[in-house]
Amino acid sequence: MAEVIKNRYEFTILFDVENGNPNGDPDAGNMPRIDPETGYGIVTDVCLKRKIRNCIETLCEDKEGYKIYIKDGVPLNDSDNTAYIALGTDEKKIKELKKDDPEIDKKICQFMCKNFFDIRTFGAVMTTFVKAALNCGQVRGPVQLGFARSIDPIVTQEVTITRVAITTKKDAENKSTEMGRKYIVPYALYRVDGYISANLARKVTGFSEDDLTLLWQSIINMFEYDRSAARGNMAVRELIVFKHASELGNAPAYKLFDTVSVKRKDGVVTARSYNDYEVEVAEEKLPEGVSCTRMI
């Protein structure tokens, strides 16, 4: 197993969408999420973590130590049960085992962190059984993301679409096409800030240097292996990483994020591509003990 990370990190991701819906809101007819007061677009942290998980699953294909816990079509109970099977017990015998081995809860949690990349990275609540007899614990992961917000207010466009495939024979007798609607954002650039705690990695999950390398790779490619007509054309444009010289950090996170400036170029009234923006990092303003790398 690779060495656990020893440095704290913060990072900023810039990604854009063209003629797509980056994160539909089920409470609003699946329209793109928006801040109703300001008009800025929103993409939730849950949505972005899903993309990262999908990318890891594609890259690693259930390789040992890199399974995905929050996974489509796989009940959480089944994943939880793998820890009990590995330790030679089940939910009926766990109470007796706890009397003989007070460390069993810790061992179960460590098994889950070791075998599931997303638990080791983002953490998880693994108390999934109704009677809580089978309980793999709660883990706070070292990697956390905020909500992404668009650089400028967005405009949601409703597009009417038609199809020639008719659902039933009866409908085919009366019409040759069917109508539908989809919601898109013509163009928007989003920014999300993230955090990586070396302290939590050492004390809780064992998030390693190899995991960190894989995390950067999955962030850069999180839209490349997850294309969808509904999401349009999405791409990660920038990954800006701030590395501290110590485990607990050398400066407050906000001071690092404040060095990243994203604005429209002079003369651009309505941005319709990434080239309409200027992205600058004021590295001369970085506090002592912090370095910056623009990975893409």
Kindly write down the DSSP assignment for every residue of 130-155, as one continuous string. Answer: TTSSS---EEE-SEEE--EEEEEE--
Written as tens digits, the pLDDT of the chain (296 aa) is 589 999 999 999 999 999 999 999 999 889 999 999 999 999 999 999 999 999 999 999 989 999 999 988 888 878 888 887 887 776 666 667 767 777 777 888 889 999 999 999 999 988 755 444 556 678 899 999 999 999 999 999 988 888 777 777 777 777 777 777 889 999 999 999 999 999 999 999 999 999 999 999 999 999 999 888 889 999 999 999 999 999 999 999 999 999 999 999 999 999 999 999 999 999 999 999 999 999 98
Residue type at position 64: E
pLDDT of residue 2: 81
Residue with tokens 């099977």: 85
pLDDT of residue 62: 82
Q: What pTM was estimated for this model as a whole? A: 0.91
Residue with tokens 């040759």: 176
221-262: pLDDT as tens digits: 999 998 888 899 999 999 999 999 999 999 999 999 999 999
CA dist 66 and 214 (Å) reads 10
pLDDT of residue 50: 96
How open is the CA angle 66-46-30, to the nearest 5 degrees?
130
Handedness of CA 123, 77, 59, 233 (dihedral sign): negative
**What is the DSSP-derived secondary structure letter of residue 90?**
-
pLDDT of residue 130: 46
- E runs forming strands in the chain: 9-20, 24-25, 31-32, 40-43, 123-125, 138-140, 143-145, 148-153, 157-163, 178-196, 233-244, 260-264, 277-281, 290-294
pLDDT of residue 51: 96
